[in-house]
Structure 1
């Protein structure tokens, strides 16, 4: 009898496995074998930093639906994407975002309660509107003057343009938020903040796949200390913001920067936007606003250098527009907005290299959803990866893998914009989008007017690390000052 026991156990295991498979509502959705049983597949690729490219590969192999976890599905179906992320959507953010929010009561990006998010966003949305941010254009100009001065000092030698884009974006955030540059461009380096942000991003990317681990760590942290990068999400950045807020309270200011606008709302509605909420918004400006903009600037410059005919078109457009306006200084936003080819290049660069490289996970509501003939029940985590949807040939054409700005100048642009996910979509679109667009629109043509820019090694492909944001490492360019009257 003892010799028969292993066979009985094996047979029983097979039966149990078959029963589980039969009861599994997602069993018909293809994907990595281990992903259907455990979140370890998601954890592995989140830590490795290749999720953006891996998801492109899987969707090319399996189609519009890919199973990425025991209860998680990635989609690339344009119709479903509009339902999930469109206006009035009942698909709420998943627990992945709870790792970002922690115990903070006011945090727009990770807030999962739509009623709370709507009320909070309503308080501050006017501050980040394009009309309001246009008033801060002189603050951006101040940072641009410093950038061009420092780049001119470096002369015609290879520089890490990805680093300088981030130094610039950080200093802009300091100027528009606190009327105070961080001084990173002057120093040519940061103060350790970049490493702190990277550590938080890398940690949250994988911890978000198992949020219970974050909360267990949170409970035990008074006894074991902090072992997670996301546990120190703000650190010195939050301390800097708190110090600037305290100074502003003591001394006041006639500067109409973002902090002053936040504090005005605080004075009018202290019960709705309290001191902690002001601090949260100011800190989030620094944390998120610098990285996304720097990545986008780097991507645009990279694609323009890889496609010199596009770069020349932008330069020609900028030169003609500035001559017509009889201006020879930094390109004003009003002119940049009237440069259709520049704007098309920005859209195309951010389509080819969106800052976010992981799925934007949502929870399927009570009614469930049918995608590509497959019913997906309530409670399932479902989402689309910007890198995947931006390469959907149904939407962006058979050349979706190529950099072709002209697609944004064609008649069906509206459809392209509806599935443009560089800043998210719908009611949860990034609140800092307008500021980022202002910086990119002004910097790139102004830079091209002043410098001849080329990749130091045209054959070298920058390394991409996807830890929520997809950063390019080794974006080396050679800048040669050109004759310019500015």
Structure 2
């Protein structure tokens, strides 16, 4: 066959026409509506990831097309309530999709591992460290950093200057997480420099991008030295890996080389941290232990998820409280009426914090406000993407065949009127105090659901609750603009690049109120 110049021109055109025609007309998912480019490529999601509006965009298409939207050549996004019970809680037969390969790690961590047997083993090894029992033995760490935050805010209150609460929360969450995870003191709260905040979100953004376009990771790595943004990503990734490896090595050598016995006691060089359980864990069948590289991979996830998502959750919670001053007042009144700072609490230099045990039950309205914040402003909006098993699956009378990827976004499900009613987009904490709310916690997807839900959920909740109550017990918060003038907080917007954060800073002035003690 002779290839002429005309053939060389029309051949690629013909291939493109064939591909587009197949994807739009003959592909098994062609019957599902969605953005035109989504049926052809994952790059449309890359564009919206970088723009920071991907969950909002997917929500828009669900508003337009209904329960199922085609968001990739072989992926359907759903807001079906059935997705939680059938897929996320459907067990190991629903494996994670190729999206979770986006980090490019040869050795996956508990978040992105797709092998169900390996995940089951790793979960068994890590779960004891993240249990409520274990974390409450380390409660003094949460308290210590909450006290540092209180003292910092005391100083700011006395100065009268405005402060951005998003920065305060970042420093608090990272300092707390650093000591819990590695017995390491970062001292970000004392230094107060945002430049010291690790570049975690760059890591998440690039992982998302490479997850949306399988196979993209290696080419981007090769282009890294020549593209400024990619150079920044590589430097960020390298710094996180280096810090994780350093901390993992310290714990590894302490426990496995020098055989230091672990203890929960404070002020001890042998004190347990979250890495300890991984270093000491053994396969119950083979007795095999994790090597240093495996431990370091988990350490990276400790840093990225433990610090950034928790601080962002606090930022959204306080953004909602500042936007709705009547809700803020009700929360602070509940704290004052429901609990004594000196009753079942810890004390440091005359400051008191309530113990974690029973805290949520003592403050049901604050619990409702927090759930409502998780529902409308989830920090984690990555698709909870699962592969349909060989048996297929049915959702909302629609059958999906084997190999199809089906996913859901916490942001979109949190606004589904079929679950939450006609006022699904309204911030209404009282919805959680009615009988209608019974069983609806499962539709909050910020921590995931089912056997692959976030293992660090308890750590995040204790950090968030401790920090929130510590502030609301003590301070009156008044939102201000950049010039320090009083303002009314407008609608809360999400910047959804990587982990979502409020688009606007939480600038406030602080004054000390009468202590909420009986």
Report the TM-score, using the length of structure 2 for normalisation: 0.84
Q: 1:334 aligns with which of 339, 350, 357?
A: 357
Instruction: Measure the CA separation in 1 of the matches of 2:428 and 2:23.
Output: 47
2:298 pairs with 1:296:
no
Instruction: Measure the CA separation in 2 of the matches of 1:277 and 1:11.
Output: 47
Structure 1 residue 64, shift from structure 2 partner: 0.4
Aligned ranges 1:72-471 → 2 under 5 Å: 72-105=75-108, 107-155=109-157, 156-194=160-198, 196-217=199-220, 227=230, 231=234, 234-248=237-251, 249=253, 252=260, 253-265=269-281, 271-323=288-340, 326=343, 329-338=352-361, 339-456=363-480, 457-461=487-491, 464-471=494-501
Decide whether aligned partners of structure 1 residues 361 and 228 sit closer, same or farther in structure 2, where only a CA change above 3 A counts.
Answer: farther
Decide whether aligned partners of structure 1 residues 279 and 37 sit closer, same or farther in structure 2, where only a CA change above 3 A counts.
Answer: closer
Structure 1 residue 272, shift from structure 2 partner: 3.1
Q: 1:477 aligns with which of 499, 503, 508?
A: 508
Q: Is the 8 A contact 1:126 1:132 kept in 2?
A: yes
2:200 is paired with a residue whose SS is helix
Show the counterpart of 1:42.
45
1:140 is paired with a residue whose SS is helix
Structure 1 residue 66, shift from structure 2 partner: 0.8
Show the counterpart of 2:4.
none
Deviates more, 1:246-255 or 1:445-454: 246-255
Decide whether aligned partners of structure 1 residues 315 and 301 sit closer, same or farther in structure 2, where only a CA change above 3 A counts.
Answer: same
Instruction: Measure the CA separation in 1 of the matches of 2:44 and 2:229.
Output: 25
CA offsets per residue over residues 176-223 of structure 1, 9 Å max, x none? 1233321101010245443x2122122222222112121344578899
Can you give the 5+ residue segments of structure 2 that lack an aligned partner in the other structure?
1-6, 261-268, 346-350, 481-486
Structure 1 residue 280, shift from structure 2 partner: 2.5
Instruction: Measure the CA separation in 1 of the matches of 2:418 and 2:516.
Output: 46
CA offsets per residue over residues 129-166 of structure 1, 9 Å max, x none? 11111111100110011111111112233211111111
Decide whether aligned partners of structure 1 residues 64 and 152 sit closer, same or farther in structure 2, where only a CA change above 3 A counts.
Answer: same
Q: Is the 8 A contact 2:313 2:378 kept in 1?
A: yes
Instruction: Measure the CA separation in 2 of the matches of 1:447 and 1:12.
Output: 61
2:163 is paired with a residue whose SS is strand
Structure 1 residue 331, shift from structure 2 partner: 2.4
Instruction: Measure the CA separation in 1 of the matches of 2:508 and 2:211.
Output: 35
Decide whether aligned partners of structure 1 residues 74 and 158 sit closer, same or farther in structure 2, where only a CA change above 3 A counts.
Answer: same
Decide whether aligned partners of structure 1 residues 450 and 225 sit closer, same or farther in structure 2, where only a CA change above 3 A counts.
Answer: closer
Can you give the 5+ residue segments of structure 1 that lack an aligned partner in the other structure?
none
Structure 1 residue 97, shift from structure 2 partner: 0.9
Q: Is the 8 A contact 1:204 1:230 kept in 2?
A: no
Report the TM-score, using the length of structure 1 for normalisation: 0.89
Q: Is the 8 A contact 1:201 1:230 kept in 2?
A: no
Instruction: Measure the CA separation in 2 of the matches of 1:23 and 1:356.
Output: 34
Decide whether aligned partners of structure 1 residues 230 and 380 sit closer, same or farther in structure 2, where only a CA change above 3 A counts.
Answer: farther
- Aligned residue pairs, count: 479
Instruction: Measure the CA separation in 1 of the matches of 2:17 and 2:210.
Output: 32
Show the counterpart of 1:60.
63
Q: Is the 8 A contact 2:24 2:30 kept in 1?
A: yes
Structure 1 residue 369, shift from structure 2 partner: 2.8
CA offsets per residue over residues 432-484 of structure 1, 9 Å max, x none? 11001001111112201111013223244565321231112422222222233
Instruction: Measure the CA separation in 2 of the matches of 1:242 and 1:13.
Output: 45
Decide whether aligned partners of structure 1 residues 34 and 254 sit closer, same or farther in structure 2, where only a CA change above 3 A counts.
Answer: closer
1:479 is paired with a residue whose SS is strand
Instruction: Measure the CA separation in 1 of the matches of 2:336 and 2:138.
Output: 24
